[in-house]
Amino acid sequence: MKDRFRPVPQSRLGRLAAFGQIAGGVATGMLGEGLRRLAQGERPHLSDLLLTPSNALKVTDQLSRMRGAAMKLGQMLSLDAGELLPPELTAILAQLRDTAHFMPPGQLQQTLNAAWGPGWRRHFLRFDNTPIAAASIGQVHRAVLTNGRELAIKVQYPGIASSIDADIDNAATLLRLSGLLPPGLDISRHLAAAKQQLHEEADYLREAEQMRRFGALLADDPRFVLPSPMDDLLHPTVLPMDFLQGTPIESLSGASESDRNNAMTALLDLVLRELFEFGLMQTDPNFGNYRWQRDTGRIVLLDFGATRPVNSETAQIYRNLMKAGLSGDLAAIRNALLASGFVSPTQLARHGKTLDTIIGLGVHQLHENRDGLFDFAQRDLVMMMRNQAAPMLADRSTWHLPAADTLFTQRKISGMALLCSNMRARVPLMQMLSRYS
């Protein structure tokens, strides 16, 4: 535990130096791995040297020390990479979801003094200095007020908000220099959107308001439970809220099939309601944002910093994709993917047959469930689609990104699909989608 207490680097130069250490460590790892493979008579490619478990471990460790936007980008990659990265790399990057280092007690004390004043402990019967969770923007402490109310208190790392823009710019520079991004791929709008969202996530007053909004939207849904913010101690960098008991959502993997299916059906239903009813979506699918209460079967929803409105254009994109998928019409699905920006005209021209094969595999799986349940545990389908997509992914000159709003929405959808897959869930997907078609 002691090794996890490390100060958050706050200065611009200090964080830039940390990025330099990432680059230097990866470069050293590439050199060593390249020499080793050359000695064995191989001719390694640059991507093979970059994407090694050793390099992933170096990057993960450094990002967990930096925290902030740099670590957040690594967390996004750990989920968004899905089946694209080798399993050993995905497993290493997954450590970023909940293994940030902690602030040392002195830095924590200074941070809370700045927010609440030096006499802040008078409000509490107990305040645990060791956090119960640590993530990219802040860490969470358990506490009990003098009136007996039990709280979970999220404390933002010092200097994180002011480091967001520089961190993202530095990460983008590393990606470009690494050659992992095609030279012609314009990500400037997506970087601007990422900066805006991370600044919003660092505003705990805004997050408290989003927590209240979701609490009202789900007040009549017994499948979910949410904390409420504690207004008296609320601060832009400190968010006190009710402490709610629950185990990590991954603990569902050892539960009964019925419990797993019910929980995943609830979460998928929530995504659909966010998209088509609420017009408001919590877009961060980090598994740490969900906990499960075994005794009640309810799902605890946490962390509303990444909540953003879903505009009507984005909702219509998914409605069109859904209608096309339910119809089973390959041409309609292809056209919907093209209109959404998930597929570029160049990709369609060069890899149209491959795309049709991938679409056909998905349609077959969606429509061939005789008991009406979609089986997310079908890993064979994922592997077949991955193998079919390999030539398209290798053709880097055709890479294309949809609009940022669509990408944020897709990130939530993909994250929930990954969680359903991990939980081996079987859900009435066709029936659920049909309600909104």
Q: Is 295 assigned a catalytic role?
A: no
Catalytic residue among 80, 98, 259, 284: 284
> 179: which 2 tokens?
């050659």
Residue 44 structure tokens:
């390694």
Q: Provide CB contacts within 8 A for 83, sequence distance 6+.
A: 382, 383, 386
Contact 315, 276 (CB under 8 A): yes
**Residues noted as catalytic:** 284
